[in-house]
Amino acid sequence: MVFDIQEHERKLFIQIGETASELDYPAYVVGGYVRDRLLARPSKDIDIVCVGSGIRLAQNVAAKMRPIPRTTIYQRFGTAMIKHRDIEVEFVGARRESYRSDSRKPAVEEGTLEDDQNRRDFTINALAVSLNDADFGMIIDPFNGLQDLEDKIIRTPLEPGKTFSDDPLRMMRAIRFATQLGFTIEKRTLDAIEKYRSRIKIVSMERITSELNKIILSSEPSVGFKLLEKTRLLELIFPEFVALKGVEKRNGIGHKDNFYHTLEVLDNLSRKSKDLWLRWAAILHDIAKPPTKRFHPEYGWTFHGHEVVGANMVPNIFRRFRLPMDGKMKFVQKMVQLHLRPISLTKENITDSAVRRLLFDAGDDIDKLMQLCEADITSKNPRKVQRYLENYEMVRERLAEVEDKDRLRNWQPPVSGEDIMATFGLKPSREIGLIKNAIREAILDGEIPNEREAAVAFMLEKGKEMGLVAQ
């Protein structure tokens, strides 16, 4: 079969092929670019394998381009990268790999195209397109990858146990590709993932998390998590999530399966938002239900305080996954802690003070919090769903009304600590914090408006009560 080389690719591919011919290096386009183009998916990374020095080929190709692009060389890996317009082209020499049992880093030696295709993770990634004169544009498909693309199958080129034992990250990649592409993992391959799952322990957490984040960012991430759970990989990398699974019954009373509920919330949210960290908040919003689960003979199952306990669990989970411990973690923690608050505002006789406090606590993240809460509606009863959505619409209206009046999103105190020190002739002290807190509470309770003049008057009154004298 001939690869459909498009006009924008042709000039580049011919140039690479001609340069490779001058060096007597047979050259091929391989891997993900070939796969994605055949699936009509966008791809901006082209991998070139040559039977020779990938670095030398890259340097010679770059020297013929105008303007001459920068060539980035990775001597340790024997690879080189050039950027052509908005496409990154990576060059590497064909290689043969062998592995030790305690490492996923192979011993590498020069090899043939066949050797290079043998080391690929899946048949759909082992496709190659020739850039050589004799068969330019022909697809080389030793493992029937074209048929697997047609049948939407993930399968390893060689015996799956060897493929996964050699490089256990491929187990995560199999599940990631199945999730992203909507493919099915062939049974022998899927069974081998479960059999060799313990090998994942030799993979760095950074690499595991990279694959996990790609699953989370897919259009239907629940597919990947169900496969991770089915193959029992999830219990090794994310035991807190597996702990959500199952339904316990007492006195004929059960609770929902919080594992599948969480996946529904994640999918619901993924239809509305591509924000990775908001999706992580969906994954973790009920993470503390197992440790907070209690049975009350009168009320049934309760999970009191799971939002607080869950927020406290977030830093350790982020730390273990090597996720950023900066504002991203704080954002997820905030979403987990606040996810029950909006629904409480749908009850009768809710004061403006409660609305102000939510605006103050959520700040500029209030809209994302509302997205999470609406995704948390997983009832199968359409009337219930409609009622919840109407309730949340009412909350949005209340939030807008109070915000328009009190301007509490991303709130800054109208009176600063410096103002208080200057007014009463104070040095940094406990009294300043007490006055600042009192002003904030007065604004949130609606005792005074969120304005400087009113806050200054309140500050003077509060200072007088504390025996302070204005200068």
Cα 425 to Cα 161, 187, 452, 454: the distances in Å are 75, 77, 19, 21
Helix (H) or strand (E) holding 87: strand 87-93
Region of 40 please: left (phi>0), alpha (psi -120 to 50) or beta.
left
Cα 71 to Cα 57, 62, 95, 109, 441: the distances in Å are 11, 7, 21, 23, 60
pLDDT of residue 427: 87
213 or 461: which carries more pLDDT confidence? Answer: 213
pLDDT of residue 155: 97
50 within 8 A of 94, measured Cβ to Cβ: yes
Is the peptide bond preceding residue 315 cis, with omega within 30 degrees of 0? no
**SS3 category, 50:** strand
- pLDDT of 71-114, one tens digit each? 999 998 889 999 988 889 999 999 886 666 676 676 667 889 99
pLDDT of residue 66: 86
Mean pLDDT for the chain overall:
91
In this predicted structure, the answer to whether residue 430 has a pLDDT above a threshold of 70 is yes
In this predicted structure, the answer to whether residue 397 has a pLDDT above a threshold of 70 is yes
283 within 8 A of 216, measured Cβ to Cβ: yes
Which residues on adjacent β-strands are paired with residue 128? 30, 140
223 or 444: which carries more pLDDT confidence? Answer: 223
pLDDT of residue 357: 84
Region of 144 please: left (phi>0), alpha (psi -120 to 50) or beta.
left
What confidence category does residue 309 fall into, taking pLDDT thresholds of 50, 70 and 90? very high
Distance (Å, whole) CA 96 – CA 118? 8
332 within 8 A of 318, measured Cβ to Cβ: yes
What confidence category does residue 221 fall into, taking pLDDT thresholds of 50, 70 and 90? very high
Distance (Å, whole) CA 312 – CA 309? 5
Cα 376 to Cα 119, 154, 364: the distances in Å are 43, 32, 20
Q: What average pLDDT score do residues 443-458 get?
A: 85
440 within 8 A of 459, measured Cβ to Cβ: no
- Residue 199 burial (CB < 10 Å; 0-12/13-18/19+)? buried
Least confident of 135-149, 171-185, 301-315, 439-453: 439-453
**Tokens representing residue 76 in the block:** 């340790």
Q: What average pLDDT score do residues 415-440 get?
A: 87
What confidence category does residue 156 fall into, taking pLDDT thresholds of 50, 70 and 90? very high
Q: Which residues of 249-258 are buried (b: 16+ CB within 10 A; e: fewer)?
A: eeeeeebeeb
Phi, psi of 165 (to 5 degrees): -70, -40
- Residue 383 burial (CB < 10 Å; 0-12/13-18/19+)? exposed
Q: What average pLDDT score do residues 166-191 get?
A: 97
pLDDT of residue 348: 65
pLDDT of residue 204: 95
**Percentage of the chain modeled with pLDDT above 70:** 96
28 or 411: which carries more pLDDT confidence? Answer: 28
**Tokens representing residue 95 in the block:** 């290689």
User: For tokens 């009168």, what's the residue?
Assistant: 298
**Tokens representing residue 252 in the block:** 């004929």
Q: What average pLDDT score do residues 420-437 get?
A: 88
Cα-trace Rg, the chain? 29
Distance (Å, whole) CA 339 – CA 140? 52
In this predicted structure, the answer to whether residue 199 has a pLDDT above a threshold of 90 is yes
Q: What average pLDDT score do residues 41-64 get?
A: 94
Report the chain's terminal Cα–Cα distance, integer Å: 89
- pLDDT of 344-395, one tens digit each? 887 766 777 888 888 888 988 999 999 999 999 998 889 988 988 888 888 8
Strand 153-154 relative to strand 184-185, pairing: parallel
pLDDT of residue 406: 62
Sorted by where each starts, the structural domains of the chain and their CATH numbers stand as: 7-150 (3.30.460.10), 152-237 (1.10.110.30), 417-465 (no CATH)
pLDDT of residue 46: 95
Strand 87-93 relative to strand 45-50, pairing: parallel
What confidence category does residue 250 fall into, taking pLDDT thresholds of 50, 70 and 90? confident
Distance (Å, whole) CA 27 – CA 92? 10
pLDDT of residue 106: 66
- pLDDT of 402-426, one tens digit each? 777 667 666 677 888 888 898 888 8
CA-closest candidate to residue 352, choices 281, 448, 446:
446
Measured from the Cβ of residue 219, the count of other Cβ atoms closer than 10 Å reads: 12
pLDDT of residue 322: 98
pLDDT of residue 19: 97
In this predicted structure, the answer to whether residue 451 has a pLDDT above a threshold of 70 is yes
What confidence category does residue 336 fall into, taking pLDDT thresholds of 50, 70 and 90? very high
**SS3 category, 84:** strand
In this predicted structure, the answer to whether residue 265 has a pLDDT above a threshold of 90 is yes
Q: Which residues of 323-360 are buried (b: 16+ CB within 10 A; e: fewer)?
A: beeeeebbbbbbbbbbbebbeebbeeeeeeebbbbbbb
Alpha helices, DSSP H, located in 196-305: 205-216, 222-230, 234-237, 239-242, 258-270, 276-284, 289-292
Q: What average pLDDT score do residues 221-248 get?
A: 97
pLDDT of residue 399: 83
